[in-house]
């Protein structure tokens, strides 16, 4: 696919979405972001990118934006994404993620969108065991959050079969880090992701890190996760878009090896040169002990090659962002 296309990015003011927007803008594409800013930040949207403040729940806004076509593709990031919260408010997640996502897919079909990229999740694999997860692993979500994304993947399958709208489902395994040029980073209110929480504890900005369970069946008893740099995830979206010229695709986005919570803490201590106070707490409902993915299909079919493969390299970009932006984007 040639550069210079037009793309709509829902949730493009959020963490992963804003880095995908940067990747599109860097290669010369025209980008419009649709975001209600309930979780995202206007300052995360770079100059030259159009920001439409609006919710997917507002059908009139969605219709107005899609009517301003043609679009070379839609990248859909807007979603709720907390496993624990979904175990408390399951129907809220189905309405916000599945319901509004299907309405967006339907609107895209009606407006002639031919390419759709879904920000999916590793939470599709709720009971993965010890194996490294491939795209052929059984989809058995362990939480309503994972189920809400699984339903969207199925909807996209039928959107292709019946309407010919091709899609890429990209299943993330813990986005981490920040734009290496310092243009975007991670800023959630409240912050729930492990690496920024550990960094803030190292910098003395919060109390001890609470580890959700220390009795899992892992070498050190803490959960193991697969961390991928957020800019590498963004580059994968652009490569996946190119595949949609020929067919729909599904890719797992992982590093192939995981790190436990305690290993993340040790990495932050090495990179920052500071100790990280931490304590072991209770398990969090819905958390599997291990989530590690293979990305061989993505590498083989698209040539994707991560720039940041070592955990310390990922942590270093996150630390640089947190130190340079002690108040995040400063717009809350």
Catalytic residue IDs: 145
- Contact residues for 92 (Cβ-Cβ < 8 A; gap 6+): 80, 86
Residue 163 structure tokens = 């309407």
Q: How far is CA 169 from the centre of its chain?
A: 12
Task: Quote the CA–CA distance of 249 and 242 in Å, as a whole number.
Answer: 10
**Exposed, middle or buried: residue 173 (CB in 10 Å: 0-12, 13-18, 19+)?**
buried
Phi, psi of 273 (to 5 degrees): 75, 20
CB 256 within 8 A of CB 292: yes
Task: Quote the CA–CA distance of 267 and 60 in Å, as a whole number.
Answer: 47
Q: How many helices (H) and strands (E) does the chain have?
A: 11, 14
Specify the DSSP element, H or E, that contains 332: none
Q: What 8-state DSSP symbol labels residue 140?
A: B
What angle separates helix 144-163 from helix 100-110, to the nearest 10 degrees? 20
Query: Which residues are bridge partners to 187 per DSSP?
Result: none
């Amino acid at each position: 696919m040639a550069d210079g296309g037009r793309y709509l990015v829902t949730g493009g003011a959020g963490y992963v979405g804003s880095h995908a927007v940067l990747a599109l803008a860097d290669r010369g594409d025209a980008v419009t972001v649709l975001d209600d800013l309930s979780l995202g930040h206007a300052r995360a949207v770079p100059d030259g990118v159009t920001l439409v403040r609006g919710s997917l729940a507002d059908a009139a806004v969605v219709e107005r934006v899609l009517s301003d076509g043609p679009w070379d593709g839609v990248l859909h990031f807007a979603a709720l994404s907390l496993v624990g919260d979904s175990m408390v408010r399951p129907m809220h997640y189905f309405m916000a993620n599945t319901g509004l996502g299907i309405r967006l897919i339907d609107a895209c079909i009606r407006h002639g969108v031919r390419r759709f990229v879904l920000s999916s999740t590793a939470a599709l694999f709720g009971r993965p065991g010890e194996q490294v997860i491939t795209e052929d692993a059984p989809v058995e979500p362990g939480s309503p959050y994972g189920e809400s994304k699984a339903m969207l993947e199925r909807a996209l399958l039928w959107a292709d079969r019946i309407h010919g709208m091709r899609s890429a489902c990209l299943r993330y395994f813990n986005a981490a880090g920040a734009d290496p040029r310092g243009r975007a980073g991670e800023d959630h209110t409240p912050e729930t992701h492990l690496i920024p929480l550990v960094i803030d504890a190292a910098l003395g900005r919060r109390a001890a890190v609470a580890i959700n369970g220390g009795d899992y069946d892992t070498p050190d008893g803490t959960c193991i996760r697969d961390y991928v740099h957020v800019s590498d995830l963004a580059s994968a979206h652009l490569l996946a878009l190119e595949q949609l010229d020929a067919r729909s695709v599904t890719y797992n986005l992982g590093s192939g090896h995981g790190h436990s919570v305690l290993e993340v803490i040790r990495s932050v201590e090495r990179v920052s040169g500071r100790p990280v106070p931490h304590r072991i707490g209770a398990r969090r409902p819905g958390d599997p002990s291990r989530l590690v993915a293979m990305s061989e299909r993505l590498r083989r079919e698209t040539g994707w090659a991560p720039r940041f493969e070592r955990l310390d390299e990922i942590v270093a970009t996150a630390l640089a962002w947190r130190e340079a932006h002690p108040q995040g984007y400063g717009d809350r």
